[in-house]
Amino acid sequence: MITKKLEAAINDQITAEFWSSNLYLQMAFYLEKEGWDGFAHWMYKQAEEEREHALDMAHYLIKRGGEAKVAMIDVVPSGWGSVLEVFEHVYQHECHVSELVNTVVDSAAAENDKATQDFFWKYVREQVEEEATAAGIVDRLKKAGENGLFYVDAQLAQR
């Protein structure tokens, strides 16, 4: 059985994951509208991955006797400047999500809930990868410059 305090923390994370999914979906719409189909494809995949995280967390919570809830999801931004600015936002957002996931792990530790700590450690590790991937794309975009955007767009279409 999971504590109410930890149930609330996980539900907050579920909502954050759905918000992240919506953010990446909106970014995909923006990039597709701007003609960057490869970047948009990458974002569509990222949006689905975040949704899967939320569902995985909800299933876990239910298995532990908790009640999964989707709180109101705030509106996400809808416009960006350059492709580089979009991916800089992605990197900043992934760093923020890492902090949120760490908070759930800390809450699980405070509640002495080793199962939840163990479950969320996979997300701690995944966040390291997601931050590194976003940082790598930002770095690639900076190195490619305006003339290399089509190349990077084509690379990300392979995801």
Query: Which is nearest to 56 in space by CA: 91, 18, 82?
Result: 18
Q: Is the dihedral of CA 21, 26, 29, 33 positive or negative?
A: negative
Q: Where are the domains of the chain?
A: 4-156
Mean pLDDT of 84-91: 98
pTM, rounded to two decimals: 0.94
The H or E element containing residue 31 is helix 4-33
4-156: CATH class: mainly alpha
Q: For residue range 49-71, what is the model confidence (pLDDT) as tens digits? A: 999 999 999 999 999 999 999 99
SS3 146: helix
How far apart, in whole angstroms, are the C-alpha atoms of residue 147 and residue 75?
33
How far apart, in whole angstroms, are the C-alpha atoms of residue 88 and residue 61?
32
Give the up-direction half-sphere exposure of residue 153: CA atoms within 13 A in the CB hemisphere: 18
pLDDT band at 146 (very low <50, low <70, confident <90, very high): confident
